[in-house]
Amino acid sequence: MIRAADVSLSYGTEQVLRDVSLSVDPGEVVAVIGPSGVGKTTLLRILALSLEPEEGTVELDGTDAWAVDDAERLSMRRRIGMVFQDASLFDASVERNVEYGLRVRRSWSTRLRDSLRSAVRSNGTADAVRESLEVVGLANDLEQQTSSLSGGEAQRVSFARALAYEPDVLLLDEPTSDLDPRNTAVIEDAIGEARERGIGIVIATHDMHQAERVADRVAVLLDHRLTEVGPTEQIFENPSEDRTRKFISGELIY
Ligand SMILES: Nc1ncnc2c1ncn2[C@@H]1O[C@H](COP(=O)(O)OP(=O)(O)OP(=O)(O)O)[C@@H](O)[C@H]1O
């Protein structure tokens, strides 16, 4: 579905990604692991089509995102949802924040447009808003202001907002790094639900156990290169590179 092929990128003179190739299929979860500063966020931003690689291509369903005009790329970008480490909510109710996801995407989806219209007509809540908040266990908190949410709840709203969008691809940048085990479990269950819905998911994580729990495949970024990509069990049980084993076991210190 989305495929980066041989992408390279530098910030000034510092090359942060070198010849990286990664794809994700519908209903698949790929975890990107690697030390801090190796380029995980940069790779996600390239996959989100918000950063153009210096070399290489990014294709969504076979269309080269950087070979089309801005309008077409924008519509491709709207098929991709992103959740960051910081929930980035605006100061309004939970419902309004999640509804924003719908408004962004409605012109691309008849179901979302109808859901939003009928909510406006009845002065009620759009089904897609309620459904995505149910996934993160917050369907009873529609009216709550985001300023009064805990960090974990805010991140769950952020996830619901991305889900309400009905993205084809969901990119998660360390979505649980500041969360307690309970909120982490809610987000991981929501990742499973998104996967069931056929969304292709890429998650950057520092948490090896999380990668093991949620991912179908794992991609290992070391020294700004993708050194290994494979089924989760293979990467954790029998990596082909000794450096991967050392990184996973915490021996490879940068
Ligand atoms: N906009 C930018 N301008 C200049 N340098 C940047 C920019 N964004 C990131 N960098 C640098 O590029 C490198 C890779 O950053 P990136 O955030 O992609 O790594 P990461 O693997 O996600 O790190 P972390 O795990 O700590 O979040 C780092 O050295 C970072 O300081």
Read out DSSP for 84-115? Answer: -SS----SSBHHHHHHHHHHHHGGG-HHHHHH
Q: Whose CA is nearest to atom 28 of ligand 1?
A: 37
Q: Please, are residues 147 and 83 in contact by the beta-carbon 8 Å criterion?
A: no
Q: How confident is the model at residue 101 (pLDDT cuts 50, 70, 90)?
A: confident
Q: Which amino acid is at 139?
A: A
Name the token pair of 133.
């908040």
The percentage of the chain sitting over the pLDDT mark of 70, rounded to a whole number, equals 91
**ipTM, 2 dp:** 0.97
Which one has a higher pLDDT value, 190 or 122?
190
- pLDDT tens digits along 60-93: 999 999 999 999 999 899 899 999 888 889 999 9
Tell me the backbone φ, ψ of residue 245, rounded to 5 degrees.
-60, -45
| Burial of residue 113 (number of CB atoms within 10 Å: 0-12, 13-18, 19+) | middle
Compute φ and ψ for 29, nearest 5 degrees: -115, 125
User: What would the pLDDT profile of 173-185 be if each residue is shown by its tens digit?
Assistant: 999 998 999 999 9
Nearest CA to ligand 1 atom 13: 37
Q: Which atom of ligand 1 has the smallest separation from the CA of 44? A: 18
Do 1 and 26 touch, CB atoms closer than 8 A? yes
Q: Distance between CA 203 and CA 30 in Å, rounded?
A: 6
pLDDT confidence of residue 45: 96
Would you say the CB of residue 41 lies under 6 angstroms from ligand 1? Answer: yes
Interval between CA 100 and ligand 1 midpoint (Å): 28
* Helix, strand counts (H, E) of the chain: 10, 10
**Exposed, middle or buried: residue 235 (CB in 10 Å: 0-12, 13-18, 19+)?**
buried
pTM: 0.92
Query: For the segment 11-21, what is each residue's pLDDT rounded down to a tens digit?
Result: 999 999 999 99
End-to-end CA distance of the chain: 34
Nearest protein Cα to ligand 1, atom 5: 11
- Distance CA(194)–CA(25), nearest Å, equals 13
- Give me the pLDDT at residue 119, please: 64
pLDDT score of 105: 65
**The residue count for the chain:** 254
Give me the mean pLDDT over the 101-112 stretch: 66
Residue 131: count other Cβ atoms within 10 Å of its Cβ. 16
Residues contacting 253, CB < 8 A, separation 6+? none
220 lines ligand 1 (CB under 6 A): no
- Mean pLDDT of all residues in 157-170: 92
- Residue 78's Cβ-side half-sphere holds a number of Cα atoms within 13 Å equal to 16
User: What are the structure tokens assigned to 89, written together?
Assistant: 């909510």
More confident of the two residues 187 and 101: 187
Sign of CA dihedral 235, 240, 246, 249: positive
* Residue-range domains of the chain with CATH: 1-79+169-193+201-254 (3.40.50.300), 88-167 (no CATH)
- Per-residue pLDDT band for 137 (boundaries 50, 70, 90) equals very high
How far apart are the C-alpha atoms of 245 and 236, rounded to whole Å? 7
